[in-house]
Structure formats: structure tokens, C-alpha cells
Chains A and B, each alone.
Chain A
């Protein structure tokens, strides 16, 4: 329509958008600029359709970055209107993206690491695990699993738990972590009770721990202040922004009891 230069908003091309397990989809998007700039733990803010319902973009974490092919992959769970709409993307469709956004994970070379993921929280840890030379993975699913092959290729040890026992051990992923003190750093993403438990385990053994949080977002860039999370600072606390101050925080500063 009019000539406004949009240097921070990108149009990607959908290469593939397929179901990878019950209610979980993976969308592969060609967008060299984003692939080049992204790092593990960041997210993209996606316009799910051209209309005004749903009105807001959807923040989806980056699952794989393929710099050579100029593409990125996102894994999303179909929860509501927006993610349901996303399943309608077909190969060749344009997709309107703002990103990469958020801080992403800090990587410490030479450290022994583990990722602990639960449910859809497994998605953002995959690229991270593949970037770390010495990394184990602890993954918890409700029933059906996804991305086990890629995790196996990226990690030294792979530990799996399912709530129904259909794959790996029956129960919660946090029950699988023995000798947590053999790790220097743990990265976790998933349901809050799981992350809280991982944080407690790490605190007991003085292991450094990073969590990736999720909250309902508006702008995604730090302007609207809706995605607040309680962060401790000494004896007091402040609301910080999951989108711009996070989504990755040091576990010790996150107040999960709020």
C-alpha cells in the first residue's frame, strides 16, 4: 500500500507444517535473516492469520536453527484459537514474523550440562542441547513423545519419562535425575511445578540453573508490560518482563510461589 520500510518485521515462507504427535505441530520456515540472527531460547512473534481475530501475535519459541538452509523450526502445541489457526499454514504460504525476540540461553563452553524439559517445554531446549558439546537430556511427556531422534543425536545421555509409562520410565521427569551434582549447569523449560522442582534440586546441590518462562504476551518487545513475572532482588522483588528481560532467567531469582 504505502512505502514504509519494515526492517524488523519479516515475511518468511512456510516450507512444512506437520503434526508430530497429538496436538503438537512443527512448522519449518524459510527466513535467512532470522536464521542468521537467532540463538537458542529466543522466540518469534507470529501473526497467525491476516485478520483481526485473533488480534494478537503468538510468541513461539525457536526449536531448531538451520543457518545453512536459512530456515528455522518452531514446535507448538495446539491450545487455543491462535495455535489452532497456525495449523492452517501450508507449504508456500507467507508468514509474518517479528523476531528473534527475548534474551535466549547463555552457553558456557566446557561445562557439563543437562536440559530438563516437560511437554511442549521440550521444544526450545532442542537447539540448545545441540549447541552444547557435553549435554544430557531429561525429557518428560504425558503420553506420546516427539523429537527423541534429534535429542538422541544431540545428547550424550537421554532419559525419558512418560506419565502413562508408554515410553521410558513411568512417572515424572524430575524423578529420573540422580546425582544432579555431576552437572555444572541445568537448563529447564516446562510446566511450573516441574521447573520449581528442578530449581529446588539444583539449589540443594549448588548447581547453576536457568529456566525459560512462559506468560501471556501482548507486544512481545517489552512495551506493554502484560507478561509480568516476579523476580527476586535481595530481600525484595520486582515484576520483570518475560518477553524482553527473559524468557530465560536464573532459577534463583524466579519466584515460583507467586
Chain B
């Protein structure tokens, strides 16, 4: 029996495959496809203190091996999540991680307070590129990352994961600030800021002009950043960015990730998380590892 269990800063996952925020809603849609208990964890759609309608459409542009999105945190608000969505998710044996975003540090604190121990973990979204206030503006300077992490941590009853933006000069510095601020774990990468222009209309494809790039196109950047961060922090890492098959997941774990998140791949292949989990197990068996933890950071130089 291969040991697939991982511990992400106190969040116990029965396997290292989680679904990424914003690509999996609140689980309901994919529950039609398979038993959600098969997943290690679900990171829910980004929540805000009040409900949000999000940005004007078009909200998606396809690019080579990737997509740009500018959804803009459309969500029913944290209270509605706790009341209407969480009971459904709790029917499954799967760790639930609440992704939170706000306009101010106080917003984040109040959300962490309201979530209490309803979820198994909180993912601090300081890296959303699609909202005017808050979001990414908290995540690109190390002193502000340190400050928001420290402040929100005071209100957390469950482990706190800080989700990092790749749109920074030095990811190692930012990761260090999150760790010093008291983060229990780090997840990376959020989407990369991008743009697409329709040459026939000469207009930006996205109504929001710019959006976040995800999908296989960003994978090498994500692997590099996970590798850099893994070499510099001592807290667990959830790696993500363009993972669409088990080979991609192995690459992230070799780079130093403890767990992996599957995002855009859900759109094309709803069964991707399960296939990736099966593929990981097979790889471990074939390469004579007894557990997933043994593979972490085992890149050879």
C-alpha cells in the first residue's frame, strides 16, 4: 500500500491532488462527474465579504495552450458560502479550503473570523489579477505580504495558506515574507497577467482588457517558481500552474511541491484530477517509492 497522505501545514490530505480555486466552483458541477471524496482537497471559488457580480463579459480568451480569464471574483459572499455551499461539500470526505479575497486587510480578517473552523483551511488570495482593489496589490510587495499574513493569521482557527502571484520580480522574497508573517503553507502560482487583442476589431478580447493566463502555457514558469520557493522556505507548498497530466504533477513534486492543484485542466478533462492521482501512484510504485512524501524535492542535479 503506497502512502499518499500529505500534511499541508496542519491540513491533512488523504492524497496530494486538490482542485484549484476558480476552476471548480463549489464542487457541485463536478460532483456529477465523479465522487468528490476521491480528491485530496477542494479549494473553492474565491470568496469575498459581500457577494460580487464579477466583470463584464467576454471574460475568457483562448491563447496558445492557455486561457486568459477575467471573471473578477464573481461569488455569493462568504456568509452564503457557509450557509448554502459548505453543507453540500461536507457530504464528502475531502478537505475543504476556502479561498478568500478582499479590498482591505480588515475584509480578509473578518472573513477568516467568519469562516472560523467551518473549512479545513484558508487560502489567502493576494494574487487575483482581475479586481481593481485588493487582490494582487497585497501580493506584490514583501512588506504588505508580511503584514496581511500576520494580521489574518491572528483570526484563523484553521491553517493559513498564502497563494502567491507570479507577477513579481522576486518570488523567493515574497514567499519568505509570507513564511515570516506566519503562513502555515504556500500555494503557487496564481495566473500570470496577460492580454489578447483581436486584430480584426482591433479591440482587446477581454472586456476587462487584461486577464490571468493559465493552462499548459504557464507550466515552466510555475515549476521554476515552485523550485525556487521550495529551496528557500520551510513550510509545505501546493504547486500549480498548467498541470494537466500525472507527468506534470511529478515534475512539480520533484521541484519541491508537497501537493499539486489542478485548475484549467478540469475544463477540458473533468476527470484530470483522478487520472493524475492514479498516474502518480503508478509512478511511485514503478520507481519503488513507498510514499508520496519521499518524492518531494527529489530533483537530481
Does B201 belong to the interface (CB within 8 Å)?
no
Give CA–CA (A216, B264) in the complex, Å. Answer: 15
A170 contacts B by Cβ under 8 Å:
no
Known A-B contacts A223-B23, A223-B25, A223-B30; the reply to A2 vs B279 at CB < 8 A is yes
Q: Give the chain B neighbours of A3 by CB distance below 8 A.
A: 278
Are A217 and B60 also in contact (CB < 8 A) when A2-B282, A3-B278, A8-B32 are? yes
Using C-beta atoms within 8 Å of the partner chain, give the interface range for chain B: 35 or more
Tell me how many residue pairs across A and B have CB atoms closer than 8 Å: 117
Of A54-62, A84-92, A118-126, the segment with at least 4 beta carbons within 8 Å of chain B is A54-62
For B56, what are the chain A residues with a Cβ–Cβ distance below 8 Å? 228, 258
Q: Which residues of B contact A53 (CB under 8 A)?
A: 64-65
Instruction: Determine the chain A residues whose CB is within 8 A of the CB of B32 once the complex forms.
Output: 8, 221
Is B294 in the interface zone, CB < 8 Å from A?
Answer: no
A8 to B271, CA, bound (A): 9
Minimum CB–CB distance from B25 to chain A (whole Å) comes to 4
Contact assessment for B29 and A244 in the assembled complex, using a CB-CB cutoff below 8 Å:
yes
Tell yes or no: B301 within 8 A of A by CB: no
Q: Does A226 contact B (CB under 8 A)?
A: yes
Q: What residue of chain A has the Cβ atom nearest to residue B71's Cβ?
A: A225
Q: A53 to B65: give the CA distance in the assembly, Å.
A: 5
Cβ of B270 and Cβ of A8 under 8 Å apart? yes
Minimal Cβ-Cβ distance residue in B for A218 = B267
Interface check A178, CB cutoff 8 A: no
Please, which residues of chain B bring their CB within 8 A of the CB of A244? 29
Q: How far is the CA of A7 from the CA of B34 in the complex (A)?
A: 8
Task: With CB as the reference atom, state the residue of chain A lying closest to B63.
Answer: A55
**B228 part of interface (Cβ distance < 8 Å):** no
Complex Cα gap A81–B64 (Å)? 10
Q: Please state if B62 and A56 are interface contacts (CB–CB under 8 Å).
A: yes
- The answer to whether the Cβ of A9 comes within 8 Å of any Cβ in the partner chain is yes
Q: Cα distance A223–B278 when bound, in Å? A: 24
Q: Which chain B residues lie closer than 8 Å to A229 at the CB level?
A: 57
Q: Name the residue of chain B whose CB is nearest to the CB of A258.
A: B56
**Minimal beta-carbon separation of A233 from chain B (angstroms):** 12
A218 near B67: Cβ-Cβ < 8 Å: yes
Distance between Cα atoms of A206 and B109 in the complex (Å): 51
Q: Report which residue of B244, B246, B268 has the largest number of chain A beta carbons within 10 angstroms of its beta carbon.
A: B268
Asked if residues A218 and B60 are in contact (CB atoms below 8 Å), the reply is: yes
The answer for the CA separation of A106 and B269 in the assembled complex, in Å, is 29
CA distance A109 to B230 in the complex (A): 64
Cβ-based interface call for B275 (8 A) = yes
Q: Which residues of B contact A227 (CB under 8 A)?
A: 57, 59-60
Closest CB-CB distance, B184 to chain A, in whole Å?
Answer: 27
Chain B positions within 8 Å of A2 at CB level? 246, 275, 278-279, 282
CB-nearest residue of chain B relative to A242? B57
Scoring A5, A57, A216, A224 by chain B CB atoms within 10 A of each residue's CB, the highest score goes to A224
Measured between beta carbons, the chain A residues less than 8 angstroms from B54 are 225, 228, 239
Considering only residues 53-79 of chain A, those with a C-beta below 8 Å from chain B are 53-57
Collect the chain A residues with CB atoms within 8 Å of residue B71's CB.
Answer: 224-226, 228
CA distance A219 to B271 in the complex (A): 12
Interface residues of A in 207-258 (CB under 8 A from B): 215-229, 238-239, 244, 258
Name 12 A/B residue pairs within 8 A (Cβ), A-sorted: A6-B271, A8-B32, A47-B268, A53-B64, A55-B66, A216-B59, A218-B69, A222-B28, A224-B60, A225-B25, A225-B74, A226-B58
